[in-house]
Structure 1
């Protein structure tokens, strides 16, 4: 990794390939989801809850059933109305930087110059000829903001879900035919019965904070497992 602060002098001619493919890190069967994108993501993907290596809860979109399988990825790119923000951000990230010692840290865009999307000859320009940000870089900035805000919300959100005992383990077993079946291990979801039973202070707190909708979006997203199975069956038929 060669991450540097992005600027319109050193990187005036830098380009970024914005299409999706295995070569760019899109060949994954799960990807991180942030609360700030649940509304859009729940229309496309099953949203599952997992524990990261530290034991903290995080949300993921289930993209495939086999290892490194993304059923939303095809020859034409990403086949869905919404692409998760982590997969859209490409070589970019946000880091906090102080302009002066002791000053207030500001989020600044950094770019990994070793990322396979970075190019000098093809892809989207980052800066206009006059030095301003291109429309593509503006969209990247919005995506990074969505990720930054989502990371800030995720911890308190899962803490609230735990406090009200809304998180429960779930067994996902998918049977495609007599000889092919899949199990998705060590995943959790929001218990719909416990969510519907909330009253009083708990219900008011989750509603006022917007977390009630986030929980409902997780529950509603589970219907997308049927679409995932259909995608898997179509992929198997194409390969037969």
Structure 2
């Protein structure tokens, strides 16, 4: 069980945290405000929450757990800046920040201080605070965006079947994207409504991000070749 503690500058005066890691993250939840930046590096796809069945958006970072594709690359740096990665180990409860002391970010020798000598948030914690704030605001706005896309029947399943040079076949199920054809076929009123609500650009960002799927497949194929 996680060990939950409310973050406190006195109790946690000497607490340090390591940089966030994406080594085990394959699909990182993102909010609409991140779509444009994330789409420059990663595919953005939709999937359903296993418990509620509700759709949420995520940046796809790889194909298999424990097989990171972005070691020592610009992609890795950008992945670690995704809000849900940056806030790893930190959560919001009511008006307080809560930490999971059992999270691997805490307790390492290479960590950086959470608070400075005056007890004020140091730079790593300030980044976490910004990420938590963006997620708090962005999740509701993203849910509204997804509902609008569903109402307009813009979201459709995507075929994510791959065959690699070593003969491995991989099929990723339960992933969805925005249909370019359906978006282009919207009547003027619906398209204008999306535009005025600021949702036309995120929709096209999702569509454009699909260009990275073949690139991820090539990276995965290269990792398989290196391991052979």
Structure 2 CA distance for partners of 1:137 and 1:196, relative to 1, 3 Å: same
CA distance in 2, matches of 1:95, 1:222: 35
How far does residue 121 in structure 1 lie from its aligned partner after superposition?
5.1
> What runs of 5+ residues in structure 1 fail to find an aligned partner?
98-107
Match of 2:170 among 182, 189, 209: 182
Q: Deviations over 1:189-222 (max 9, x none)?
A: 1000111222332112211111111111110000
Question: Which structure has the highest strand share of the two?
Answer: 1
Cross-structure match for 1:49: 46
Name which of 119, 129, 145 aligns with 1:131: 119
Query: How many residues were matched structurally?
Result: 225
| 1:157 is the counterpart of 2:145 | yes
- 1:1-20 superposed matches below 5 A: 1-20=2-21
Whole-angstrom CA distance in 1 between matches of 2:185 and 2:171: 29
User: For residues 176 and 74 of structure 2, what CA distance do their matches in structure 1 show?
Assistant: 29
Aligned to 2:179: 191
Distance apart, 1:133 and its partner CA? 1.4
Deviations 1:95-129 (A, max 9, x none): 223xxxxxxxxxx3221122121127541111110
Contact conserved, 1:36 with 1:149, CA < 8 A, in 2?
A: no
The answer on 1:91 being equivalent to 2:89 is yes
Query: 1:72-83 to 2 correspondence within 5 Å?
Result: 72=70, 74=71, 79-83=76-80
Matched residue SS, 1:81: helix
Alignment deviations for residues 39-63 of structure 1 (CA, whole Å, 9 cap, x no partner)? 1111111111111121101112222
Superposition RMSD in Å: 2.1
* Structure 1 stretch displaced more, 79-88 or 42-51: 79-88
Q: 1:109 aligns with which of 88, 97, 116?
A: 97
Output the TM-score relative to the length of structure 2: 0.90
Q: Note if contact 2:20-2:86 (Cα within 8 Å) is conserved in structure 1.
A: no
Q: Is the 8 A contact 1:190 1:218 kept in 2?
A: yes
The unaligned stretches of length 5 or more in structure 2 are none
For each residue in 1:55-93, what CA deviation from the matched residue of structure 2 results, as whole angstroms up to 9, or x when unmatched? 101112222223443322x37897243433212212111
Give every structure 1 segment of 4 or more consecutive aligned residues whose post-TM-superposition deviation is greater than 6 Å: 75-78
Deviates more, 1:76-85 or 1:184-193: 76-85
1:206 is paired with a residue whose SS is: helix
Q: Give the secondary-structure state (helix, strand or coil) at the position aligned to 2:216.
A: helix
Alignment match, 2:30: 33
